[in-house]
Chain A
């Protein structure tokens, strides 16, 4: 069913479960390192391989990380809780149980405010709990390289045991046709929040942040929620939005045709933005949770929690409010800066002495354009806020003009060195030597007698052509304003 029609008849209810891998030095329950992209099975030990006899020991930094996330999400940090085993068999899970938390999560009852089209939505957080990640399977054979139809699989346990925080929202009602945008905005805000805490790199493309999106529909005006589906592992912000939209359309179609929505797991496909049913389960899962006997309960002291609260940085929402005022941004400009991931970069550039307008201009225009060209995040460009500030300082001092400044950036991004090195190597200083400029102008006048005559005759506007020729002759290094003054002077038109 078409989206608008679906929304006219049904009200969606959302729920989002987000998994975030913490960026600790070692795994959740053992000392193996956590680096992304290592050779297979090089970051494993008896514990994370689940070898007989091995035992887990909890990583203190991971617990600090989840408590920080819980505090940033305005959660209560419980005074006592336990890990629980979630029992199910799967080849990428070495113990065939996941150490997780069940009815005693570490953080409960929080909220996160988000904004969509000028309206604020408070997303209630049900719980935030600690668990461990699984290994990764590579499916071999068959036609698609996917799990379906594969002949066998190859498992790498490097990721097994990486600390994983699961953040579960309460059902999110009454978002109407903004449901997909609300879902996306929540994921975006959550990512910003966690990133600001410095506890995870929250890179969806690398899987360090993954969303499962629950959607159900109820007829408009109904009181009772419909059956929900859970779309797993939606791995970009855009996909979060698309998955919600696609599930709304699909479920509306099912309901409209008199069918029933089946409670099931669904998979999102990036290619066409649709979801498909996971393997229909012969029987409901029964995870047989019970308290993890190998780990003792956690009882975070109030002192510890307050100490961690004291380390929280300025959170994104507060920060946005502050910079909007300080930098004099419109709502739209603020949104663009945030979406571009430029807040930190601009702020760091300002700290180096650049004024807010210039700092924003460079990062949001010239550098954003180059990041897009190269297909990387702004923050991943090989240029630092200090370097941007240095270029702007040279510009302010009249040593560079706008055009030259762009060339300096080009050089820095090409790995030619610092701005000063690029200026020196490329010889990019503004030509301020009056004698040299004067002789160039003489040559240009001599080479363009017709234009010169027009100017002498009072058509001052024609001077632009000569200025252009001067700039060309100096490879852009002349001060264009001064060149124009000299041309008019020499031709008696000033």
Chain B
């Protein structure tokens, strides 16, 4: 066990002890508070029926009680969190006009820089790093009065689909603790699915929000690229990375997205347009007359029968709600995966070059005789995990002189073809749908040393990353007791459309199920 692994566990362990002894306000049922949606909590908070400190405490207690099993958090600091909550209560008491999520807790992916908590991106090479600046999204969460519960576990540098690539530990799927919670934002999905937080943040480079949301039975949204700021997001693949929200309801996801989105002059790729009306769309929940395209290529071999069945039922449901469903061919979507596994590693090989033991982070082998070059190479060999090394090597290869045109160059051309497929499709339909991921949560360890099998988890989610489109995953049922997600994709800046369709699906399915899907999850 490494030093940080211990400290990570102790962090949650401390919360456990404090929660066990302290408890919260006797009048409030903390078990009830943690099951409320963010929208409900926001209303209780603004009505003064509960304080931000009480809400935070309830969630910290929940973390203390269950995170020993779930392993969602890399870092929890009860005092820092409660201090934030008290500040929100003071702001409210002082009459400040606060947003709808003021006082609502959020679990923050460890890829966002935070000045008051360590930021490691799940890597040993950044163990214990305290950034001197807040990510734009961190700052916006604070401004909106959201209370950060802690930093969530992730695949190292967001590379993976299971959190098994975290340098610290593997997070667990609350539906089955022997299974993966998805990745890379698996700590964030697990935290929300385990009622440790009503909301969490993630980043989606190839599906790292939608796939974990899908396999844990919650909502995960990848906004339009550039719609949410990357400033202070430790980069994996800059042209693909997109921060976005996790929540248990479509409306909550929209509220969180609205809270942290909008133009950021610190991010040159940030779009100048106003944030699409996502909250309004999430309340609208109507698909009557909407044209919905089923992506023909995302079906067949490799898809769990249960996944295909739930997907087909969801499409039928949409049709029954008045949507016009057509099959759409996007012939190049099947090339998205290989293109992605050239573009993302290429960018990552460059983005991760800065971890070199010179200015921050781990330094290995500096014995006074070795050169900087040797110390860099020793540090990187020890500080990066196998998947990160694999992708750095792959990206270095794809960009090398002699191979650039055949690999990186071709992948960029495929990107153009996929863009054209999307454009052609959106001339016929308003949104596209597919399963979010071909299978349900797989057992921990099953694909750990089979990168190609692991990469297949992102098969359906990658096209939207390559072209910057908005896409969401909403729960659409169970297969063998495990959640299945429906992916809804819209054009660039069409975020409101996916919320509208997602909310309609959510409402209709919850009517059918008699409540949210997550209610079917086994108790922890």
> In the complex, are there CB atoms of A and B closer than 8 Å?
yes
Interface of A toward B, CB cutoff 8 Å? 46, 49-58, 85, 87, 89, 91, 94-97, 151-153, 155, 286, 288-290, 293-296
Closest CB in chain A relative to B467 CB, distance in Å: 14
Most buried by A among B119, B350, B368, B399: B350
How many pairs, one residue from A and one from B, have CB atoms within 8 Å of each other in the complex? 103
**Contact pattern, B 229-273, Cβ under 8 Å of A = 1, otherwise 0:** 011111101110000000000000000000000000111110000
The contact of A294 among B112, B119, B269, by CB within 8 Å, is B269
Query: 9 A-B pairs, CB-CB below 8 angstroms?
Result: A46-B132, A51-B359, A52-B354, A53-B231, A53-B232, A95-B353, A95-B354, A151-B368, A295-B268
Q: Is the interface of A mostly helix, strand, loop or mixed?
A: loop
Q: Which residues of A contact B401 (CB under 8 A)?
A: 286, 288
Which of chain B's residues have a CB closer than 8 A to the CB of A293? Answer: 237-239, 269, 347
Determine whether the beta carbon of B350 is less than 8 Å from that of A288. yes
Query: Are B354 and A94 in contact, with the CB atoms below 8 A?
Result: yes
Apart from A55-B267, A97-B353, what are 9 other A-B pairs with CB-CB below 8 Å? A46-B133, A52-B129, A53-B131, A57-B267, A94-B354, A95-B354, A155-B358, A286-B400, A290-B404
B356: Cβ under 8 A from any A Cβ? yes
A289 to B350, CA, bound (A): 10
List the 10 closest pairs (A to B, CB-CB), nearest first: A96-B353, A288-B399, A293-B239, A293-B238, A53-B232, A52-B234, A53-B113, A50-B354, A95-B354, A53-B234
A139 to chain B, nearest CB (A): 11
Is B121's CB within 8 Å of the partner chain A?
yes
- Complex: A282 Cα to B131 Cα, angstroms: 37
* Interface, chain B (partner A; CB < 8 A): 112-113, 119, 121, 126, 129, 131-133, 135, 230-235, 237-239, 265-269, 346-347, 349-350, 353-356, 358-360, 368, 372-373, 376, 396, 399-401, 404, 408
Whether the pair B133, A288 counts as a contact (CB closer than 8 A) is: no
Neighbour of B353 across the interface among A56, A89, A155, CB < 8 A: A89
Q: What separation, in Å, do the CA atoms of A91 and B353 have in the docked complex?
A: 11
A96 to B356, CA, bound (A): 8
Cα A293 to Cα B368 with chains together (Å): 37
| Contact, CB under 8 Å: B346 / A290 | yes
Chain B residues whose CB sits within 8 angstroms of the CB of A46 once the complex forms: 131-133
Residues from chain A with Cβ under 8 Å of B266 in the complex: 55, 57
B233 touches A53 (CB 8 A): yes
CB contacts (< 8 Å) of A54 on chain B: these are 133, 231-232
Residue of chain A at shortest CB distance from B264: A55
| Cα distance, A152 to B360, chains bound together (Å) | 17
B499 to A: closest C-beta gap in Å: 27
CA distance A135 to B140 in the complex (A): 32
Are B354 and A56 in contact, CB atoms less than 8 angstroms apart?
A: no
A156 CB, nearest partner CB in chain B, Å: 12
- Bound CA span A97–B351, Å: 9
Residue of B119, B131, B235, B408 touching A290 (CB-CB under 8 A): B408
* A295: B residues at CB distance < 8 A: 268-269
Q: Which residue of A lies closest to B375 (CB)?
A: A91
Q: Give the Cβ gap from A250 to chain B, nearest Cβ, in Å.
A: 29
With the chains together, A155 CA to B360 CA distance in Å?
13
Q: Is the CB–CB distance between A89 and B119 below 8 Å?
A: no
The minimal Cβ–Cβ distance linking A151 to chain B, given in whole angstroms, is: 7
- The complex places the Cα of A91 from the Cα of B372 at a distance, in Å, of 7
Identify which of B129, B239, B376, B399 contacts A89 (C-beta below 8 A): B376
Interface contact A55-B268, CB-CB below 8 Å = yes
A49 CA to B121 CA, complexed, in Å = 18
A155 contact set on B, CB distance < 8 A: 358
Cβ–Cβ < 8 Å partners of A89 in chain B: 353, 356, 373, 376
Distance between Cα atoms of A85 and B349 in the complex (Å): 11
Query: What A residues does B230 contact at CB under 8 A?
Result: 53, 55
B368 engages A51 (CB within 8 Å):
no
The docked-state distance in angstroms from the alpha carbon of A153 to that of B371 is: 10
CB of B359 within 8 A of CB of A153, answer no
Determine the distance from Cα of A57 to Cα of B266 in the docked complex, in whole angstroms.
Answer: 7
Are A56 and B268 in contact (CB-based, < 8 A)?
Answer: yes
Chain B residues with CB under 8 Å of A87's CB are: 349-350, 353, 399
Complexed CA–CA distance, A151 and B370 (Å): 9
Interface centre among B235, B239, B354, B373 (most CB of A within 10 A): B354
Minimal beta-carbon separation of A92 from chain B (angstroms): 9
A85 touches B368 (CB 8 A): no
**CB-defined contacts of B234 to chain A, threshold 8 Å:** 52-53
| Distance in angstroms between the alpha carbons of A8 and B265 in the assembled complex | 60
A216–B87 CA distance with the chains assembled, in angstroms: 69
A-chain residues with CB within 8 Å of residue B368 when the two chains form the complex: 151-152
- CA A49 to CA B354, docked complex, whole Å: 10
